[in-house]
Amino acid sequence: MVELVTKNYWWLGITKKVKQYVEGYNQYQRMKNRAEMSVRKLRPNEIPERPWQHILVDFITKLLVSKGYNSILVVCDKFSKISHFIAMTEKIMVKELARLFKDNVWKLHRLPESIISDRGSQFVAGLMKELNKMLGIETKLSTAYYPQTNGQTERTNQKLE
C-alpha cells in the first residue's frame, strides 16, 4: 500500500500514516453507519396450480423499427411456460397497452390471480392500476434484473432477442 501511495504522493511520516489507515480500515468498515436498508429475507413466489394463474410480464424496448413497432410486450405463464410476444411501440399510451393485453392474453386465457412485473412507471402505474381495479387482480412487483423473482421472463427475453 505504501508503494502505491508513494507513486503519486509524499509527505513526512507517510509510511506511519498508511499503516494506521490500513490497520483501522476493517474496524472503520464494521462501525460505519450504512444508509442502505438492511437486506430482508426473500419470500419465494407462489407455485401455480394451473395454467395462467400467475403470469410474468416484461418489455423489450429500443429495438430496431419493424413494421412501425420498436418494442415487445412479453407475457409468460409460470405454470406452462407458454409466452406471448406482443409487438408495440415504446411510446404506447396506457389505454392502447391495456387493449393489446386484453386482446392477446386475457381473451385466450383465464384472468390471472397475480401478475409479476419489474416495470415501474410504464406498466404498473397506469395499466395495472386501471385493469386491476376493474378486474380485481393482485399485482406483485419485483425489482428490475432480479432473476430470483422474475427470471423466467428474463430468460425468455434472452431467447427472443
- The C-alpha cell of 38 is what? 438492511
Distance in angstroms (rounded) separating the CA atoms of residues 125 and 49: 28
Higher pLDDT, 27 or 110: 110
- The C-alpha cell of 103 is what? 386482446
Higher pLDDT, 45 or 12: 12
Kindly state the helix (H) or strand (E) to which residue 149 belongs, with its residue range: helix 147-160
55 with 115: CB under 8 angstroms? Answer: yes
Quick: pLDDT tens for 15-52.
998 888 877 766 666 665 666 666 677 778 888 999 99
pLDDT at 4: 85
Can you list the positions of beta strands (E) in the chain?
54-60, 71-77, 83-88, 114-117, 138-141
Domain 54-160: give its CATH architecture: 2-Layer Sandwich (3.30)
pLDDT at 92: 85
CA distances (Å), origin 90, targets 11, 139, 156: 57, 22, 19
Per domain, the residue ranges of the chain are 2-31, 54-160
Give the gyration radius of the chain's Cα atoms.
Answer: 24
Amino acid, single-letter form, for residue 20: Q
Quick: pLDDT tens for 111-147.
788 888 876 555 556 766 767 766 777 767 676 666 6
